[in-house]
Amino acid sequence: MKALSYLVITQFKNRLLALKKKPALMVLYLFITIMLLFVIVVSVAFDEQETQLNYADERIVFLILGGIGLLFLGLYVTTGLSTGSTLFTMSDVVLLFVAPISSKKILFYGILNTIGKSILASLFILFQIGNLKSSFGYGFTEIMALFLIYLVAVIFGQLLSIATYIFSNGNPGRKKIVQTILYLGAAVLLFYLVASQQSRQIGFMEAVFQMVDSRWFGFIPMGGWMVLFFKGIIRGAVFDVLISIALFVVFMVLFITFLTSGTADYYEDVLLSTEITQQRLVASKEGRRYQLNRTKKIKVNENEQEIKGKGATALIYKNILEMKRKSRFLYIDSYTVIACIAAGIAGYNIKGKVAGAYGALAMLLYMQFFLTMFGSLRFELSKPYIFLIPEKSMKKVVAASATSLIKPCVDGAAIFLVFAIAGGCDPFTAIFMALAYSACGILYVGLTILYQRFLGGQPNIIAKAFVGIGLFFIVMVPSIISSVAAAVLLPEALLFLCTLPFTICCIVFTVLIFLACGNMLDKIECASK
């Protein structure tokens, strides 16, 4: 245990010493810490003050918690049936798996590492104190409860995935048993929802809310346990909190006992999942898609796989073919489906409230930023073949960006069509919100090109982050201010036009970015990684 303690302490000291060589990273950490402390202090200071009485239905939080828990359950079990999960990195494997140290101690070290990483990944919950306080009246205690239960669920899921992999690896019969249990559980929940809706003559969402608030739902693994814990905290039911903690702890102890038992050697199984995780990380950094070796023979239709066009237009057909490989329906992927479902749920609950509708738009734009900025376009602009095409740089940049420019338009039309049908807003507002979503997505594509033009050759990631945030605010602030001004000046009958200035500004800025950065491929050093 002394060796593991020395390793943990040394790693922590090295990270602190590395900050001396990276002052920008230190500034970033200090900024995040100060903002986090500010949010916490403000929340504690306002906890004692009188607040409004008309809060949103707290069952919405139960639904989110239960949905996240059930999603984690399905994802971790599915991962366990295929590749498993891991608590280690490749450096841990090289140092520890060959060392004369007890496997139980090494597993404990992996759990501690996962706890540390999960704490950092869960900090985003603390920044939602203001939203949860204004919408549900929750304070610091409830936020810490959400933080804690999310952390426990992540650690539990990692152990569940490893245990599932060890239990089912190389045994098709056991895999079928696990899959059958998973599918039967989902079918039972769906059947209960439909039966409850029909028998009580209530809406589907009301049936969902009643289900997640029911007593029996609290005993469903992960999702129900998370809801049971949080309900116990906010309602003062200590027994429910203890039951939830006991369920998590008992099963985690069982998983650890199974992993360290004489019949289950987790080293070999964890090694495979660690290698896969490392290969996926490397592929992501290089802009490649990582796929496991397929045993199933894939039939290729040569006519459908032919890349048409010539010159820069061949890039458009190439990107279209890549999209077809990812999804059967062109421009419709898993994000589109999930966003439409979320928009339908939000629209049903918002029921035409203007503030709620524009809040949903803001959340979608926030998610769209990361999906676009971390998409494939930034790698596409640095591939060797794009420099070999004998066309003007501007034409190649536009061709490489064509599918990325069309995607937000399709998503916006689908998402806000569902949003309007669900009753979130009127048709005119939905049209202009879809235009704003599409224009902002197009602007994000332009920002990707702008970042690649000015930061593509910058090796310092922190410098990239700060400069990128600065460019983002320079472009977005005028667009947002123009829409806010329009919302103030326009009469209530024309309020649906308030996003039009935002849309126009986004399109104008995008055109300017393409004109300014269209020659980026003529300067190879600007597009290099």
Q: For the segment 305-363, what is each residue's pLDDT rounded down to a tens digit?
A: 555 667 788 888 888 888 887 777 888 888 888 889 888 888 877 777 777 788 888 88
The model's confidence at residue 489, banded by pLDDT at 50, 70 and 90, is confident
How many whole angstroms separate alpha carbon 476 and alpha carbon 247? 47
Reduce the DSSP state of residue 368 to 3 states and report it.
Answer: helix
Q: What is the model's pLDDT at position 458?
A: 46
The model's confidence at residue 462, banded by pLDDT at 50, 70 and 90, is low
Reduce the DSSP state of residue 156 to 3 states and report it.
Answer: helix
Q: Where are the domains of the chain?
A: 56-285, 314-527
CB 401 within 8 A of CB 329: no
CB-count burial class (<10 Å; 0-12, 13-18, 19+) for 396: buried
| Residue 520: closest CA among 409, 397, 417 | 397
Percent over 90 (pLDDT), the chain: 15
Q: What is the model's pLDDT at position 51?
A: 52
**Average of pLDDT values for 5-15?**
80
| Residue 359: closest CA among 50, 65, 56, 146 | 56
Q: What is the model's pLDDT at position 84?
A: 61
Q: How is 17-72 classified by DSSP, letter by letter?
A: HHHHH-HHHHHHHHHHHHHHHHHHHHHHHHTTS---S-PPPTHHHHHHHHHHHHHH
How many whole angstroms separate alpha carbon 474 and alpha carbon 304? 43
Q: What is the model's pLDDT at position 226?
A: 93
How many whole angstroms separate alpha carbon 190 and alpha carbon 272? 35
> Residue 526: pLDDT above 50?
no
Categorise residue 73: left if φ over 0, alpha if ψ from -120 to 50, beta otherwise. Answer: alpha
Mean pLDDT over each residue of the chain, to the nearest integer = 80
CB 343 within 8 A of CB 360: yes
How many whole angstroms separate alpha carbon 207 and alpha carbon 205? 5
> Residue 91: pLDDT above 70?
yes
Q: What is the model's pLDDT at position 459?
A: 45
The model's confidence at residue 528, banded by pLDDT at 50, 70 and 90, is very low
How many whole angstroms separate alpha carbon 290 and alpha carbon 281? 9
How many whole angstroms separate alpha carbon 55 and alpha carbon 285? 44
Number of other residues whose CB lies within 10 A of the CB of residue 251: 17
| Continuous H helices in 260-392 | 266-285, 313-326, 334-350, 354-373, 377-380, 384-388
| Residue 438: closest CA among 511, 508, 506, 339 | 506
Q: What is the dihedral of CA 374, 375, 376, 377, to 10 degrees?
A: -90
Tens digits of per-residue pLDDT, 41-68? 776 666 555 455 567 778 888 988 999 9
Q: How is 426-487 classified by DSSP, letter by letter?
A: -HHHHHHHHHHHHHHHHHHHHHHHHHHHHHTT---HHHHHHHHHHHHHHHHHHHHHHHHHHH
How many whole angstroms separate alpha carbon 69 and alpha carbon 212? 12
Among 113-127, 240-254, 459-473, the range of highest mean pLDDT: 240-254
How many whole angstroms separate alpha carbon 365 and alpha carbon 360? 9
Q: What is the model's pLDDT at position 251?
A: 92
